[in-house]
């Protein structure tokens, strides 16, 4: 794979992570975990990125947006 194609794929992957809500903290935790145990087969991290809570007239409305990041080694 040439350098331009690699850079384009990495840019697109980074953009997709941003669009689904993966935070920099989640990326950092994944990198730390994989650097501590490089032979790790699966990494899963979960983070609540948005939370909405509303109380009115005896009722509550709550909405939570949770992002799960899973990385697995694949056989090619």
Domain residue spans of the chain? 3-72
Predicted structure pTM score: 0.67
- What lies within 8 Å, CB to CB, of 47 at 6+ separation is 23, 25, 26, 66, 67, 69
The pLDDT confidence band at residue 3, using thresholds 50, 70 and 90, is confident
E strand residue ranges, 1-76: 42-56, 59-72
pLDDT, tens digit (0-9, with 9 covering 90-100), for 26-72: 888 888 888 898 888 888 999 998 899 999 999 999 999 999 999 88
pLDDT of residue 5: 81
CA distance 5 to 27: 23
| Segment 12-26 mean pLDDT | 87
CB 8 within 8 A of CB 16: no
DSSP, res 72? E
């Amino acid at each position: 794979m040439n350098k331009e194609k690699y850079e384009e794929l990495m840019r697109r992957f980074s953009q997709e992570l941003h669009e689904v809500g993966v935070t920099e903290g989640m990326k950092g935790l994944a990198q730390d975990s994989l650097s501590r145990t490089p032979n790790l087969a699966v990494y899963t991290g979960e983070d609540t990125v948005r939370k909405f809570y509303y109380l009115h007239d005896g009722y509550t409305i709550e909405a939570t947006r949770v992002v799960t990041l899973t990385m697995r080694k694949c056989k090619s």
